[in-house]
Structure 1
Amino acid sequence: MIKSVFFIDKFYSFSLLLSLFCIFASAIMKQSAPYTIYFGDARVDITSSQPDNCSSLLVVDDTLSVLRAKVIKKVETDKFVTILSPNPRQTFSLLAAQFVEVRAAGGVVINEGGELLMIYLRKRWDLPKGHIEDGESSAEAACREVLEETGIEAVVVDDKPLITTLHAYDTYGRWELKYTDWWRMTAVGGELRPQTEEGICGIGWYSGIGLAERLNSTYPTIKEVIDALKQ
């Protein structure tokens, strides 16, 4: 009987410790989870930790909210902005609600030689991507956009996106926040054929020095995608 009571006491002690650990871990995740939104070449991080660099700071008040107009004004002069919040997730949700949500998907396509497919659009190197159409899954949209913009047939190799990037922009006075799912893909057929009617005037497979040169003339979001690919 004594052994049974001892076992029960140990069990409840373990359960209590496990519950406390889960609560603590959840609190830590809520406190430190960073969110990144790009405004053109400017980067805005929402976090609970003050950065070591010389990032421009916005500190939220007790409402945990920050006005879109205030963020936009900051990125007009600063390339790195940090929004400090005790609850980054809540602050991000409140900020995102001030934009029109747009969903898109793109492909990170690798061929048999380990080269990355890139397109040249609006004077920068980019990856094929586009809006998700009604009735279309994110992965389906990514495959369709790759084929339309590059002529390459590709298949998704993972069951979830490699990364999702956030990009805010002004479309004729309407501020949108685009969530782009980036899918890792393998090329299975087709021939390089840039979609010139969409303004794509260059296309190719790149690795090594050639890839590095093109990453010097791309968007911060694309660099983030490539960093995720390397991990």
Structure 2
Amino acid sequence: MYTIYVGDKPIILTTENEKETDFKSYLLKTVNIGKVIKKLNKTDLAAVHLIHKNPDKLLKKFLKLLPNVIAGGGKVYNANKEILFIYRNDKWDLPKGKAEKKESIEETALREVEEETGVKGLEITKPLPTTYHIFKRNGKHKIKVTYWFEMTTDFEGKLYPEENEGITRVEWLGKQASTEALENSYANIRVLV
């Protein structure tokens, strides 16, 4: 099973055909993804289930529905066990960005975290779950596939928000502040933190 977010509403890829309650089900191979996105955005529908009989093909078939944007990002801990957050578009988020040609996804994640926050000395400690969300750019929907990594750093320098990327703040947040920030964040970020 996979979850792809449209805003905070999930599209769930599944092999199970469940009785519809607050969600609608469609067959993955015949779905009109544009109509599904519109329905999630314009109605109080809680979720959509896209069904396919083969669990190994669920994600592969879904990713063919829209152009993909590959990104890498980090959930970064400092020596005080605080998490590095960015503030962009009036929401708390984790630093991430698009992969560049000939760059491994780990290199993307490290580069993007450093560029968006000014934090140096980053070290990947383990991979985290990959997230998927649908967004709209220039009138076209795309699927952002973000590969996440847990990282650590001993960096204690000044934080620099990458303002030309719309980032207005960068902060290390402890457990309580992280919990509060997640109330004004994205569903796929809440899954990671």
TM-score, normalised via structure 1 length: 0.75
Name which one, 1 or 2, has greater alpha-carbon Rg.
1
CA contact (8 A) 1:64 1:91 kept: no
Report the 3-state secondary structure (helix = DSSP H, G, I; strand = E; otherwise coil) of the residue aligned with 1:149. Answer: helix
Structure 1 residue 209 displacement after superposition:
1.5
Segment drifting more, 81-90 vs 184-193: 81-90
Structure 1 residue corresponding to 2:148, chosen from 169, 176, 182: 182
Does 1:101 find its partner at 2:68?
yes
Counterpart mapping for 1:1-231 below 5 A: 34-50=1-17, 54-60=21-27, 64-76=29-41, 77=43, 78-153=45-120, 154-158=122-126, 161-189=127-155, 190-226=157-193
Structure 1 residue 180 displacement after superposition:
0.3
Separation of aligned partners in 2, 1:164 and 1:93? 14
Separation of aligned partners in 2, 1:86 and 1:172? 34
Separation of aligned partners in 2, 1:133 and 1:142? 11
Separation of aligned partners in 2, 1:116 and 1:58? 37
Tell which has more relative contact order, 1 or 2 (C-alpha 8 A, sep 6+): 2
CA contact (8 A) 1:41 1:79 kept: no
CA contact (8 A) 1:106 1:146 kept: yes
Structure 1 residue 51 displacement after superposition:
5.8
Q: Which amino acid aligns with 2:39?
A: K
Q: 1:75 to 1:106 in 2, by over 3 A?
A: same
For 1:139-193, what per-residue CA distance to the aligned partner results, in whole angstroms no more than 9, with x for missing partners? Answer: 11111111111111111113xx211111112211322111100011001324311
Separation of aligned partners in 2, 1:120 and 1:53? 37
Structure 1 gap ranges (5+)? 1-33, 227-231
Percent of pairs with identical residues: 35
Q: Which amino acid aligns with 1:165?
A: T
The count of corresponding residues between Structure 1 and Structure 2 is 189
Q: 1:206 to 1:156 in 2, by over 3 A?
A: same
Segment drifting more, 42-51 vs 200-209: 42-51
TM-score, normalised via structure 2 length: 0.88
Q: 1:183 to 1:91 in 2, by over 3 A?
A: closer
Q: Which amino acid aligns with 1:156?
A: I
